[in-house]
């Protein structure tokens, strides 16, 4: 866990400084031809993170047997299959919402819509552009930190917020086919959306500040890595079936 965070932090600190134009606080609805949607180093980091977590998924389910695929350490905990399905369900929903709503107007995109009352932009702070890189790290650290997760008891998040798996994928190969298709779709959305993602915002699910588009997109591979950690917790369980059926 700590090594993973160090890799993220080291990579993020390699980002180039924002240009003077990017540091202006006035939002620009339409970027000029000279203003990319993301700074080059930010885009490189995001795309590399998407690639790395794709490979991590493939590595995590390689040679998993049918018995291992559905094994649950406790009745209320997810299996390897369910952890993987949750990753796909969540990415599909988050990216379809992002493509449909982000940067369509001046108001922040309302994506985390399970909130009972639609929040107002004035209810949240906007982080100055010069501080965004620090907040990027805070967001990733929060996503990747599973130290407060108590796996000995059931958790009860709102059903609409969990993207609960249903056992859809019967084999790792079937799951990987769906995962790769979704990751390709995610890649395509990022490549084709042409707005300044640091200057448009999203209502957060549980934060006091508005996410910008880049911070939201960082959550996609970050969420994948978080639940791959959960998947590996299942594989490390003392009762996880061994290949051949022996314990």
Averaged over successive runs of 10 residues, the pLDDT of the chain (247 residues) comes to: 45 37 35 49 93 98 97 95 96 94 91 77 90 92 88 67 86 98 96 87 86 95 97 97 66
Residue-level pLDDT at 246: 43
Torsion angle of the four alpha carbons 218, 221, 222, 226, in this order, in degrees rounded to the nearest 10: 170
pTM listed for this prediction: 0.81
Residue-level pLDDT at 144: 94
CA distances from 93 to 59, 100, 175, 186, 203 (A): 24, 11, 16, 11, 16
Residue-level pLDDT at 196: 85
Q: Which CATH number is correct for 36-146+169-235, 1.10.443.10, 1.10.150.120, 3.40.50.970, 1.20.120.450?
A: 1.20.120.450
Give dist(CA 201, CA 106) in Å, integer: 9
Give dist(CA 107, CA 8) in Å, integer: 31
Tokens read off for 87: 């990753």
Specify whether the CB–CB gap between 221 and 137 falls below 8 A.
no
Residue-level pLDDT at 38: 56
Give dist(CA 54, CA 17) in Å, integer: 28
What does DSSP say about strands 211-212 and 201-202: parallel, antiparallel, or unpaired? antiparallel
CA atoms lying within 13 Å on the CB side of residue 218: 27
Specify whether the CB–CB gap between 114 and 161 falls below 8 A.
yes
Residue-level pLDDT at 39: 73
Of the candidates 75, 74, 61, the one whose C-alpha atom is nearest the C-alpha of residue 232 is 61
Of the candidates 175, 195, 161, the one whose C-alpha atom is nearest the C-alpha of residue 37 is 195
Q: In which element (H, E) is residue 212 found? A: strand 211-212
Of the candidates 195, 214, 204, the one whose C-alpha atom is nearest the C-alpha of residue 105 is 195
Residue-level pLDDT at 119: 84
Given CA atoms 167, 170, 172, 174 in this order, what sign does their dihedral have? negative
Give dist(CA 211, CA 85) in Å, integer: 26
């Amino acid at each position: 866990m700590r090594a993973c965070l160090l890799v993220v932090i080291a990579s993020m600190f390699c980002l180039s400084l924002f240009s003077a134009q990017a540091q202006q606080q006035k939002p620009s609805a339409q970027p000029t031809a000279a203003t990319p949607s993301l700074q080059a180093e930010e885009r490189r980091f995001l795309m590399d993170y998407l690639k790395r977590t794709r490979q991590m998924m493939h590595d995590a389910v390689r040679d998993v047997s049918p018995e291992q695929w559905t094994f649950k350490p406790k009745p209320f905990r997810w299996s390897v299959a369910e952890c993987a399905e949750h990753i796909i369900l969540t990415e599909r929903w988050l990216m379809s919402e992002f493509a449909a709503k982000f940067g369509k107007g001046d108001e922040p995109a309302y994506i985390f819509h399970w909130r009972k009352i639609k929040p107002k932009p004035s209810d949240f702070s906007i982080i100055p552009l010069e501080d965004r890189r620090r907040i990027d790290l805070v967001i990733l650290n929060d996503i990747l930190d599973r130290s407060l997760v108590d796996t000995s008891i059931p958790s009860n998040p709102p059903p609409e917020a969990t993207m609960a798996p249903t056992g859809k994928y019967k084999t790792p190969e079937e799951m990987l086919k769906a995962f790769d298709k979704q990751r390709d779709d995610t890649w395509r959305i990022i490549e084709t959306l042409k707005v300044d993602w640091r200057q448009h915002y999203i209502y957060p699910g549980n934060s006091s500040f508005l996410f910008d588009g880049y911070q939201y997109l960082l959550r996609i591979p970050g969420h994948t890595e978080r639940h791959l950690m959960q998947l590996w917790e299942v594989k490390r369980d003392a009762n996880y079936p061994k290949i051949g059926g022996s314990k």
